[in-house]
Structure 1
Amino acid sequence: MRPPPRLHSRDTSPVPNVDLEAEADLARCGALKDFWYVACLSTELKPGQPLARTLFGTGVVLFRDAHGRPAALRDRCLHRNARLSRGAVFGGRIGCPYHGWVYDASGAVVEVPSLGPSQRSELLDAEGCAREGLAAEPCALGRLTRFPTVEQDGLVFVYLGGAAPARAAPFRVPYWGQAGWNVYFMVTRFPNGVTNLVENFMDVPHTLFVHPGWFRRPASKRVPATVRRTAGSVLVTYKQAQDTVTGLGRLFNPRGLPLLHTDRFYVPNVTRVDYLWGEHGFVINSQCTPLGPTDSLVYTAISYRLPVDVPGALVGRALRPLVRWYTRQVIAQDVVIMDIQREALLDGPGGGVYSGTEADLHHADIEAYRRWLREGGQGSGPEDAERDMAFWI
């Protein structure tokens, strides 16, 4: 009699697919920090108001300088480490709420109220101040860490990579400013890490269980696809031109045109999902910003074009409340399942050790890229590959 097959337990020597703690730690995330991350919407950064953000566990304060340009500084006053984001912005500068120290957009201390009109030490000369470990005037106090910023396509990006040049330019929002297209943003706080989020956003099988009836219904249907891994991106092309999308699908495809459905991942934190019927359709672009190991802000741009519209895309604009409501319901469902996953991830040893099948081929590619970057991103990274896969829905 043939002996039973040996079963290999994943508990013997588990190797996590993801390291949520390291991925969200500025000191341990390797090259994951060497990219531009969205800090806020342009509309969130108002003149004369500070805005607090956390990226990779690091507090950042944003404000607009005297020319209206975004500035980003370490959110910790040099004096007694109070949060600058709890202070005030005036004349393009930011003042600390504790003792009123004032910083310009470069992070330099430009005024210390307790030094009075002269802005110099009165009774201790420079040598005496130095002997006591003090500064005689604001310019000797040093400066806060300043983080470079870029504002484009309705978003404000921040770079936390230090002296190393960014590995890629800030991601452009699909169809931003293009005639005939409507674009709006949704900002969502997710209780999970970036790797798990981007995998969720590029996953078809879960839609049957997490979004029943919102995207598609169970059909016992085989879905072939091609997965291409190249140059820091993962492209999944689904070979189902006759696939139908429930929910708003009829609004975008009333004539039943062939569907082109693609999912793309761009290192280290961006996904783009396209549902296109000829020259119209909708695109879901998500950019994930890590706050902590299981805490992220996701900036989702929804770009859509109707099959029939009037100049100025006025019909599409009028339908925006409906489209926004629909997409908000879907994202809320993803928030719930990401929280369910988070609970189990944190439930003792073994969290982050995943199993998979052919349907997870592109997830393995995403994990390979992010692991390579977390470990320093040396060399050219995972080699290019193109493979076919299939799964059932």
Structure 2
Amino acid sequence: MHDDGHGPGPARRQDQGAARHEHGHSHHRAHSPSHEGARAAGRLRHRLAHLLTPHSHESADRLDPALEASARGLRALWVSLAVLGATAAVQAVVVVLSGSVALLGDTVHNTADALTAVPLGIAFLLGRRAANRRFTYGYGRAEDLAGLAIVLTIGASAAFAGWTAFERLLSPRPVEHVPAVAVAALVGFAGNEWVARYRIRVGRSIGSAALVADGLHARTDGFTSLAVLAGAGGSALGWQAADPVVGLAITAAIALMLRDAAREVLRRVMDAVDPALVDRAERALSAVEGVHGVGELRLRWIGHRLRAEVAVVVDGEATVRQAHAIAVDAEHALLHAVPRLTAALVHADPAPVAGQADPHLALAHHARV
């Protein structure tokens, strides 16, 4: 496995890699000269390609984009907090003047949306901390916990908005300063839509499901602001129930958005990945010289970064160094093929031979039923 900034030194990694890519074979024969020549030619072509397209897979070079992604996420959060905070402040003033429960629900939701930047910001900061002997994968999963906090915040704001609108529906009263309510609704829509576009763009760029969920949250808030505008129009026409009815409609819209955001966040917590990424990884591995087959392949998100674990089938007569070289080539191919992949643990299995026992037989009694 290539180091991602938190593991042992290069020499030690090579020793560990050689050990884990060997399955206890005590006798090996070297590959034929023609085979070795083909591998040497392939390596030469690859090195020439690297010279023409300079890049690196050293740990520091791979860590910098990850830190840059966290910095971009933090910047998106603080900018969003400022914009939504200003939007909610304008709406709050109008709520006090008008008494509109529809606008109150929208204001509360905008405030909650702005405050979700706090747990997500903490998660991004934690994710930049180095892995240690207790948190051996680092702190990236804090981002998933922040996503859960966002989902709970959305649910709480929906409950508050719905209860307030229901109470007003039972005891309707006219809305005052209707033009101001309409302006505040337009301000809410503009602020939320801008924040939604910004968060979703950055979230997808850095692979943060929590930030994308927060962006979808803001987009729904923008449409609920337009619903407040409709309620203001109904109140201007003398329909007193328009304001609480729109408030209930806003609650329903929040509930729908809550379902989508919760599904995305829970999938991430359960280590779900896009199957297309698995297909891409398998194709990349199958194209590596010396890989005769792809066994178990696992991908998982840790924050907004991916890690992989895979078993590849190699020639059973390969030496330890040859098997390790194939495993390194396989990891290299994965790093190129799978976006936001920072490390892969590649395990080399010998190709099965008729009449020989399965080399994993000693592990059979540990298999889960």
Structure 2 length-normalised TM: 0.22
Computing the radius of gyration from Cα coordinates, the structure with the larger value is: 2
Bigger strand share: 1
Bigger helix share: 2
